[in-house]
Every structure is written in C-alpha cells, then in structure tokens.
Amino acid sequence: MSNKNYPLHLLHIGDTHSYFDPAWVNFSLQAKHQTYTLKCSSGGYARLQTQIKAFKQHHADMPSLFLHGGDLFQGSLYYNCFGEEANARLINLLSPDAIVLGNHDIDDGSAVLRPFLDQLDCPMLAGNMDTSAEAVNKKYPLADHPQLYAYDAKQQRAQVILQPFHDTQLAIFGITLDNMHQVAKADDDLLFHDAIEVAQQTVAYLKKNHIHHIVVISHLGLHADRRLAEQVPGISLIVGGHSHSLQGDFQTLGINTVLPYGETVSGVPIFHAGKHTEVLGSSQLMLDESGRVKDIKGGNWWLLSSDLRREIRDQIQAPETQALLLQQLSQHPQVLLVEAHPEIETLLATHYRPIMTEMSQQIIVHLDKSILHTRLPSQHLPEGSQLTPLVAQSFYEYARNQQSISLDFSLHNAGCVRASLYQGQVSYADMLGSVLPFNKPIVCFKIQGKWLKRAIEGAIDNAYHRHPKSTGTGSYPYAYLLKWTYHHDAPALRRLTDVWIWQNQQWCPVLDDSLYQGACSDYTLSGKEGYTALQHATDHIYLDKLMTDIFIDWLKNYQSKASLALESAQELTA
C-alpha cells in the first residue's frame, strides 16, 4: 500500500443522561500560594451546539464525524419530566452522525425507545441486538426500524453505515452490552449477542469487501473497549461510553484523571468524553490507507461560560486573585469560553426549564454539612459513599415504621445514587433530577446468609471488573446494619470474610443457614450486575412508596439531625 494520508475530524460525547444544562464542576487552582476551589459551569447542549459548529467550520478541510457513545436517557430531572421527547428534540439539534444504544436508553423497554426512534433524525446503532425474535403484533416493535442499525440475523453481523471517505469508504457500526438483560429492563424478546464475536464477524465482512477504515461506537465501558481493541484486529478507532471515563491530563485544574486521551491498545485508539456533557471531545486524526490511525491531535475540551469572569467574581472577593484565577482557567490549553447557542438556549428556557425552576424552589431540607457520594472507596473517601448507606437506612426505617415489616438489614447499589448532597438547601429538583433520579420500587425479602454473602461478593467483583462481563462500578454495594471485609487477592467465592449483622445491640456473624429479612430496590433484587444470588430470595413484599420518595421523606423527618444520622450510618456500614 502507498503512504497516502486520510485525515478525519472526530467529535464525540457520551453518557449525557439528559443533562441538557451546563454541569457544575469544581476546579482546584493555585494563586498566591493558596488553593482555591472554583465551581464553574461547563458544557450543556447549548454550548455544545456553538462549539460543534465552530470546530466543524475550523476543520472544514477534512471529513468530520460526530458520534455519541450512548446513554442519552435517565439521570436528570429533564428525563423524569419530559422523557424521550426532549432527548429526541435536542439531540436532533446537535445533529450527530450516529448514536450507539446505551443500557439506559432501553431501561424503560421498547415502549419508550420506539417513540424516540420515530422522532430521531440520525441512526442509532446496536449491532449485537437481535430483533428477529420479537413477538408478533408487538405494540412497540424495533425490528426493521429505519433509524436502528441492529444485528443482521441472516448475515450474522452488525448492520453497517457506509459513507464516502476521501477516495474510499468509511464504515461505522455500534456495539452495546451483550449482558443487557443483567443491567437494563430490555424486552425479553430482544437478544444480545456476544459483543466481541459480532465485532469480529463484522470487521471480517468489511475487510473481505476491501473496506479498511472502520469506526466502532461502543457502549461497553473502557475496560471492555480495551478487550475489543485487543481481540478484534482491523478496527481503526473506538468511540466509547458507559464507564463515564474522562480522558485527558487536567491535573493543573485539580482534576486527577489518569487516563490518556485516545488511549491506544493494540494500535487502536479509544476515545471517551466523561459524562453529563461536561466536555466535548474533538481531535484531528490521520489514518493511513490500511485504516490505521497514525496521529492524534486534540482532546477533551471544557466548555466554560463566556461570562466566566462573573462566575469567578461571585466566589472570590479580591480583584487581583480573581484576575489570576481567570487567567489560569481561560488560558488552559483544553478550556474554551463558549457562548450558549440561542436556538437551544431559547428552547430550554421557554419550553422545559419553567418546570425545573418550580421544582427547584420546593425545598426539602437545609443541610449543615455535605453528604458525599462516590461509587467506590477511595483515598479521599476510604469508606466510600457517605450518602448511599443513608438511602439504604431510609428503606429500613420506612419498612419498619410505616409498614410494620421487621427487617434485619437494607442494601443499595452505588450506581442508583448519582450525585452528592451538598451543604445548604436541598430541593425536589436536586433529588429527582440529580441525586436519585431512578425512582424505583423497594422490595422486602427473606434470604439465607450464604446467598446474601454470595450476592455481596458478586456485586463487588462486578464493580472491580473481576470477570470479563463486568458491567461497571455502579454495582458496588452499601448497606445499613451489615458490614464485611473484602479481600481482592483471594480466590472467587472466598473474597468476602467477617460478614456481620447488627442484632440485639451487637454485631453478630451472618450464618450461612440462617434466614435474614432485608430490603433493596427491585432492580438490585432482580440479580443484575453481580447480585445474581439475590434471586434465591423469597417472600417478596413491595413497599407502598418508591425509592426517591422514601428518601425525601426521610430527609424531611431528619432535617434537624442530618449530621447525627450521617455519623450513625457510617458506624454501621461497610
């Protein structure tokens, strides 16, 4: 082959989760030998639209490709209020070339996904989702939808988008989680084939037809994307989502990411752009005639307010310090000051935000201190999430006090809590929009100690990617009135030791053959994301309120004891 070059301008986002407004990000900066934490708004659909247009115009001399790594749905108040309609309307204004199906995009089944596809202007890719077994006369069928590029059962490969690319063709196909039924409520008649095998078959088909420039959009998560790059030779590049992975060096902004942008595995660069439209990925790629990426220039860009001076002035009093911090932020090589595009901004302000504003004025509680959330224990939070155990505690107390159900413990997974509760006023908009947006049913149940232990170990294994089909950190378990020790280096089924339950005012060992009564969300109890052993639970009793509503009531009742409740819960969790 010759040394011919094939330039490509890549734009990408992912895991937007209906975050249409800018997200608030804390940057840590140095000025005059002091450290300042600045809360700045970044991203949002209106700024994205402005910057996407600007990037495309600036790189008009090369083909451009704008891709979305999946999970448009769920996660914000916009979705809870407006569902798929707002997502379709707003993503159409951004005009991506393709979107991959995320697990949250099908978490409400085809009944929501089908109307979304009917309104969508661009293709949605799910090359390993097989619709060929859909029920006859299904009310919301996905099969043969013109905007869905799914699995071709006859050819046994993904359906592919082909588009002109210099003097050849560019192929694009999408791969989503093959264990979708373990993480989402996809319809039972939808089949999900092994992601690696489908990718191998699809790439082989393309290579056989002399198509070498192959882009895969993946909603597998960064760990699985690395395996995809290793096990499927011939892919040019992967644009990913699902793991909320922020790539790039932002240590000078106080963000300790350690992931290189465009991380290359087996010669295949992998691109991720964090979450919630905080950043926009943009890079100029140089491919060779064989489809291999030879050069990458670009990164993830923070899209800060064009009125950044005001945001800093509102937080820092000294004018000289204001100027130093403004200079640091505005001159950072991956920071852009961006005006909101009037088309999207006007739509949000007139059609959607009024309801958000009304809910933000309904105050639940005033917290004297922040209650922080993280999925996994870390150096900053060695016990992990402070908030998730309190959510579990609210299930326990509601079941006992409101429905007179005698419980021994309650359990909750980290991924169902999406944000921290910060000091100050907490509104209904905060709770339903960002902290607990998945308002799921809560179920009480009975289970033997051996299966409870197995479920906790399986969930932790899943969170730490201890097996190839791990779904991510969201499975990490937190509990009320349970504690345990987990050994990373021990063999499977022997990693969990010292499992204790609080009974009769003391810690007692959890016994394999004893029966315990617990509570958790119906999502967790279904056995998804490593909690498989919970399927051995019996005697299910559904509470008469949903998860978020229960916790909101808990906060109201404990508003004068928020700090005390936090200390108590931390003492009784692991």
Q: What is the pLDDT of residues 220-253, one digit of tens each?
A: 999 999 999 999 999 999 999 999 999 999 999 9
How far from the centroid of its chain's Cα atoms is residue 74's Cα? 9
What's residue 558's pLDDT? 62
How far apart are the C-alpha atoms of 368 and 174, rounded to whole Å? 46
The token pair at 559 is 């508003």
Identify which of 113-117, 185-189, 328-332 has the greatest average pLDDT.
Answer: 113-117
pLDDT digits (tens, 9 = 90+) for 271-292: 999 999 999 999 999 999 999 9
Give residue limits of the domains in the chain. 6-348, 365-571
The number of residues in the chain equals 574
What's residue 557's pLDDT? 77
Contact status, residue 569 vs residue 558, Cβ threshold 8 Å: no
Contact status, residue 179 vs residue 469, Cβ threshold 8 Å: yes
pLDDT range class, residue 363, cuts 50, 70, 90:
very high
For residue 123, count other CB atoms closer than 10 A to its CB: 20
Name which of 537, 526, 557, 550 is nearest 188 in CA terms: 526
* Sequence-separated (6 or more) residues with CB below 8 Å from residue 163: 169, 170, 172
Q: Above 60 in pLDDT, residue 107?
A: yes
Superfamily of domain 365-571: 5'-Nucleotidase, C-terminal domain (3.90.780.10)
Residue-averaged pLDDT of the chain: 92
pLDDT digits (tens, 9 = 90+) for 124-169: 999 999 999 999 999 999 999 999 999 999 999 999 999 999 999 9
pLDDT digits (tens, 9 = 90+) for 482-541: 999 999 999 988 999 999 999 999 999 999 999 999 999 999 999 988 999 999 999 999
Query: To which residue do tokens 């064989």 refer?
Result: 290
Q: Above 60 in pLDDT, residue 570?
A: no
* pLDDT (mean) for 408-422: 93
pLDDT digits (tens, 9 = 90+) for 326-341: 999 999 999 999 999 9
* pLDDT (mean) for 429-441: 89
**DSSP-based helix, strand, coil % in the chain, nearest 5:** 35, 30, 35
pTM above 0.85, yes or no: no
Q: In terms of C-beta distances under 8 Å and separation of at least 24 residues, what long-range contacts does 501-509 make, across chains too?
A: 501/408, 501/409, 502/409, 502/572, 503/408, 507/483
For residue 350, count other CB atoms closer than 10 A to its CB: 9
What's residue 387's pLDDT? 95
What's residue 284's pLDDT? 98
Name which of 171, 291, 219, 199 is nearest 71 in CA terms: 219
pLDDT range class, residue 2, cuts 50, 70, 90:
low
- 556 versus 299: the higher-pLDDT residue is 299
- Annotate 91-111 with DSSP letters as a single string: HHHH--SEEEPPGGGSTT-HH
What's residue 3's pLDDT? 78
H or E element that contains 53: helix 45-58
Any idea which fold 6-348 has?
Purple Acid Phosphatase; chain A, domain 2 (3.60.21)
Based on C-alpha coordinates, what's the Rg of the chain? 24
**251 φ/ψ angles, rounded to the nearest 5 degrees:** -65, -30
What share of the chain in percent tops pLDDT 90?
A: 82
**Three-class SS string for 171-237?**
EEEEEECCCHHHHCCCCCCCEECCHHHHHHHHHHHHHHCCCCEEEEEEECCHHHHHHHHHHCCCCCE
pLDDT range class, residue 217, cuts 50, 70, 90:
very high
Distances (CA, A) of 430 to 76, 364, 424: 9, 9, 12
* pLDDT (mean) for 49-66: 97
Q: Above 70 in pLDDT, residue 397?
A: yes
Q: Above 80 in pLDDT, residue 37?
A: yes
pLDDT range class, residue 356, cuts 50, 70, 90:
confident
